């Protein structure tokens, strides 16, 4: 998104049409509310950025199908020019027409039309340039089907639009859509607006709405519309000078009428994204005198941040769109995002942190002590702290713009926390996503029917449907495309139930970037679920569950013995955990915090999460038998995710590498394969090098290196007991202090002369 600069933000509200509560769809499920459909279609509008279009920022649902839209806003519009009741100069009209056509042409390029073009929706910024407002209303409402009001203003609607009337579906279970309007309907509206600017007054003011609509329909049957309108209003000479009639905005922009105007406006190039095939530095420019960059002490640094970031911070500071509308008692309001005292006092250095400063992970500011204290607060509080989030967003934004060169520092900062606003792209960086991902995604055939289509169609309506975004029809369509792309691009693997849940977090965070969601999912599965989606995955899953059982026994022998005695084995409850990486168990907001940590660990970290969950349920499990445990896991109790994450990290630090060795795990990457980037080893260990499989196979015991690693960890709860096996005659030999010596008499007995570590406070050695 573009920086906020001197623009403002506004809010508008409308109601979606209500659906009957006693009607179900063809699939037997309740009908999706129209407000959720609109919310899903709205998301693509946030990605459409152009200097001539007001940037959409957010949409929220309220009660009774109310929707509130936040978007870029300007106080002045062409409506103000018409109120002056003075004709506008022909040169000014040409500039306005050209800028409006630029916006319309960019919309048409994305398959959209405005349909609500009017003087009040053609805004003027402080420099007098045009910005089209409400350009996405027609798209988000499915050509007006999902609302009870017409899209557009009677005086500016094209004759064919009025003749079509308002089309409402008679059967809510069927997707009936009216014939969509094309670009010509916007050109008609633009022609009427330019006509009014020439005259300096509005048309049809003396006519009632019914007569006005009848007159416009009649104009559709007249060859010389300009002459009829000019005779009606007595301005034939003026309208002949500025009348235009061409089929599309694209062709109008290249008309000779705008030959002098077009040279003033440079071509618009959308900035390259993070995972773009074109170089991101291609259009970077610096002023001639760089020394003047930092001399302006009164600069509004917040205005240099993107509109999306400013809005996010405003919400963190207590901003509420619907509350603003209620307080102002108007439809459109100006949220006070730039007048928040807490943001106004933030020093300029907070907006430009030094990436090479190793003294502190937080940028220095006037409130650096408060920020340092905030870093130790619970995560849920940090995510709601406006000033803390501002610093984290600015820091991560700069690091991500330097990805992959700053990959190591992204990992380092992600250990502290990940700002929710940038979680999607940060996850992609942690997973090592690189390259032209959009081209790869576009090259996959997502349309040809395949055998798994039916199962995908069944699974999607059951996957995280409590979420408004994922339950929308647009969300279902994106789900379908991403899942199908993964299945088609991995012919050696198959679709298993649970893959949809695994896809949900990536799709939610990258709703407007299916290619990135697909790329993240494709990088995540080989790392954490290697060969889980084979057609015959029984050997992989059984090995995984066996290692998990060993982990339970290693960290909590008492609980392990009890579960084994009652026959409550991991096969009965843990398969959905690991097959979906807990996305089938927890809601999305908990998965985000869990995966923030999971992505910093290696493929064995999920074992630690599973053990941490069991330890939260430890007392109830020890007190119950088999049947009660089955009932307990059929409706899993509330799990404290922050505690689960904290204990998972400790468990990971206490666990030697050999304890989680799996034969069917993914082979660790060689140094030559990683292209010099950091290894995928966990951030929670001092050792970032994967142990070769040959070393683990030849030495399944726990060596001194593992002891030192665990002993040097920051956990004080870790208890060590070392056992040394000796024959009876060697009992009096010198031994290390603190080691328990176990003697045996049978000379034929052989055993490994290693050590045994109990790394849990509940374990007894």
Burial of residue 139, with CB atoms counted within 10 A of its CB: 0-12 exposed, 13-18 middle, 19 or more buried: buried
CATH of the domain spanning 437-528: 1.10.8.270
User: Does 433 have pLDDT greater than 90?
Assistant: yes
Residue 296 has pLDDT above 70, yes or no: no
Third-level CATH fold of 8-262: Transferase(Phosphotransferase); domain 1 (1.10.510)
Return the axis-axis angle of helices 557-566 and 538-555, rounded to nearest 10°. 130
pLDDT (0 to 100) of residue 739? 53
Q: Classify residue 71 by its DSSP letter.
A: E
Task: Write down the CATH superfamily of domain 552-667+681-690.
Answer: Ypt/Rab-GAP domain of gyp1p, domain 3 (1.10.472.80)
- Residues contacting 37, CB < 8 A, separation 6+: 16, 142, 146, 472, 473, 474
235-258 in b/e form (b: 16+ CB < 10 A) is beebbeebbbeeebbeebbeeebb
Whole-model pTM over 0.95: no
What's the average model confidence in pLDDT over 426-432?
Answer: 95
Q: Hey, where are the domains in the chain?
A: 8-262, 437-528, 552-667+681-690
pLDDT digits 0-9 by tens, 118-135: 999 999 998 899 999 999
Provide the CA 350 distance to its chain's centre, in angstroms: 25
What is the pLDDT at residue 243?
A: 39
Question: Does the structure show a pLDDT above 70 at 116?
Answer: yes
Higher pLDDT, 764 or 329: 329
Predicted confidence band at 431 (pLDDT cuts at 50, 70, 90)?
A: very high
For 236-285, the DSSP string reads: HHHHHHH----S-HHHHHTSGGGHHHHTTSPPP-PPP-TT-SS-TTTT--
User: Cα separations (Å) of 237 from 97, 234, 240, 652?
Assistant: 19, 9, 5, 83
What's the pLDDT at 206?
A: 63
Spatial neighbors of 583 by CB under 8 A, at least 6 apart, are 464, 501, 502, 504, 505, 591
Q: By C-alpha distance, which of 461, 509, 452, 455 is closest to 485?
A: 452
Which of 216-230, 388-402, 542-556, 607-621 has the lowest average pLDDT?
216-230
Closest C-alpha to 761, from 620, 609, 618, 638: 618
pLDDT at 220 over 60: no
Q: Give 743's strand partners.
A: 726
How confident is the prediction for the chain on average, in pLDDT? 79
pLDDT value, residue 238: 32
Mean pLDDT over residues 546-569, rounded? 92
Task: Answer with the residue of higher pLDDT: 154 or 751.
Answer: 154
Going by their DSSP bridges, the two strands 76-77 and 122-124 should be labelled as antiparallel
If pLDDT is split at 50, 70 and 90, which confidence band does 744 have?
very low
End-to-end CA, the chain = 59
Residue 639 pLDDT level (bands cut at 50, 70, 90): very high
Read off the DSSP letter of residue 345: T
Residue holding tokens 């038998």?
625
As a three-state string, the secondary structure of 626-668 is: HHHHHHHHHCCCCCCHHHHHHHHHHHHHHCCHHHHCCCCCCCC
Mean pLDDT of 143-168: 83
What digits encode the pLDDT tens for the residues 699-738?
Answer: 444 555 555 555 555 444 444 455 545 555 555 554 555 5
Distance (Å, rounded) from C-alpha 259 to C-alpha 265? Answer: 11
**Residue 441: its pLDDT value, please?**
95
Residues 6+ apart with CB under 8 A from 233: 199, 203
Q: Which SS3 state, helix, strand or coil, does residue 60 take? A: strand
């Amino acid at each position: 998104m573009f920086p906020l600069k001197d623009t403002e933000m506004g809010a508008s509200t409308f109601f979606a049409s209500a659906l009957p509560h006693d009607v179900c769809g063809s699939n037997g499920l309740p009908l999706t509310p129209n407000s959720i459909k609109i919310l899903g279609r709205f998301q693509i509008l946030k990605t459409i950025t152009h200097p001539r279009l007001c940037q959409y920022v957010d949409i929220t649902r309220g009660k009774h199908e109310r929707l509130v839209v936040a978007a870029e806003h300007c106080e002045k519009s062409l409506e103000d020019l018409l109120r002056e009741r003075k004709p506008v100069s022909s040169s000014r009209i040409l500039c306005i027409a050209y800028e409006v056509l630029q916006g319309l042409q960019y919309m048409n390029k994305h398959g959209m039309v405005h349909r609500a073009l009017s003087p009040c929706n053609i805004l003027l910024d402080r420099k007098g340039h045009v910005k089209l407002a409400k350009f996405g209303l027609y798209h988000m409402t499915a050509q007006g089907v999902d609302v009870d009001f017409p899209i557009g203003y009677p005086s500016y609607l094209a004759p064919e639009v009025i003749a079509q009337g308002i089309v409402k579906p008679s059967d809510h279970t069927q997707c009936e859509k009216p014939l969509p309007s094309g670009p010509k309907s916007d050109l008609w509206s633009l022609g009427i607006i330019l006509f009014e600017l020439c005259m300096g007054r509005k048309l049809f003011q003396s006519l009632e709405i019914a007569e006005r609509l009848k007159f416009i329909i009649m104009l559709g049957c007249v060859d010389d519309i300009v002459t009829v309108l000019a005779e009606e209003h007595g301005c034939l000479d003026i309208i002949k000078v500025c009348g235009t009639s061409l089929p599309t905005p694209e062709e109008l922009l290249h008309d000779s009428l705008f030959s002098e105007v077009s040279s003033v406006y440079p071509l618009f190039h959308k900035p390259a994204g993070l995972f773009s095939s074109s170089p991101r530095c291609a259009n970077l420019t610096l002023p001639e005198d760089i020394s003047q960059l930092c001399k302006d002490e009164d600069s509004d640094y917040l205005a240099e941040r993107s509109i999306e970031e400013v809005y996010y911070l405003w919400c963190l500071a207590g901003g509420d769109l619907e509350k603003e509308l209620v307080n102002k008692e108007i439809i459109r309001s100006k949220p006070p995002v730039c007048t928040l005292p807490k943001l106004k006092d933030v020093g300029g250095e907070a907006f430009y942190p030094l990436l090479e400063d190793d003294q502190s992970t937080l940028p220095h500011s006037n409130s650096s002590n408060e920020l340092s204290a905030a870093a130790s607060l619970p995560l849920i509080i940090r995510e709601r702290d406006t000033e803390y989030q501002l610093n984290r967003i600015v820091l991560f934004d700069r690091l991500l713009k330097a990805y992959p060169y700053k990959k190591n520092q992204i990992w380092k900062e992600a250990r502290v926390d990940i700002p929710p606003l940038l979680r999607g792209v940060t996850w992609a960086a942690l997973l090592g996503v690189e390259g032209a991902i959009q081209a790869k995604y576009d090259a996959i055939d997502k349309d040809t029917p395949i055998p798994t289509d039916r199962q995908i169609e069944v699974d999607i309506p059951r996957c995280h449907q409590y979420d408004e975004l994922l339950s929308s029809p647009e969300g279902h369509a994106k789900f379908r495309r991403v899942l199908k792309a993964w299945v088609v691009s991995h012919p050696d693997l198959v679709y298993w139930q649970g893959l949809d849940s695994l896809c949900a977090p990536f799709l939610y965070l990258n709703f407007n970037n299916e290619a990135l969601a697909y790329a993240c999912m494709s990088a995540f599965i080989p790392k954490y679920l290697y060969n889980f989606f084979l057609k015959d995955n029984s050997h992989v899953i059984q090995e995984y569950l066996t290692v998990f059982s060993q982990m339970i026994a290693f960290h909590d022998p008492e609980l392990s013995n009890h579960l084994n005695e009652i026959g409550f084995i991991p096969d009965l409850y843990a398969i959905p955990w690991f097959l979906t990486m807990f996305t089938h168990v927890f809601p999305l907001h908990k998965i985000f915090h869990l995966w923030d940590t999971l992505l910093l660990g290696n493929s064995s970290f999920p074992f630690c999460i599973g053990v941490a969950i069991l330890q939260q349920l430890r007392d109830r499990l020890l007190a119950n038998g088999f049947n009660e445990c089955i009932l307990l896991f059929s409706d899993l109790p509330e799990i404290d995710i922050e505690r689960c994450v904290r204990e998972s990290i400790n468990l990971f630090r206490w666990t030697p590498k050999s304890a989680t060795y799996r034969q069917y795990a993914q082979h660790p990457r060689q140094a030559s394969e990683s292209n010099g980037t950091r290894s995928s080893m966990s951030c929670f260990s001092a050792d970032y090098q994967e142990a070769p499989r040959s070393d683990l196979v030849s030495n399944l015991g726990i060596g001194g290196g593992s002891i030192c690693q665990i002993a040097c960890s920051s956990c004080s709860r870790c208890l060590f007991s070392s056992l040394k096996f000796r024959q009876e005659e060697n009992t009096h030999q010198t031994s290390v202090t603190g080691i328990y010596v176990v003697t045996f008499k049978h000379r034929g007995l052989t055993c490994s002369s290693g050590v045994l570590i109990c790394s849990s406070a509940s374990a007894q050695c």
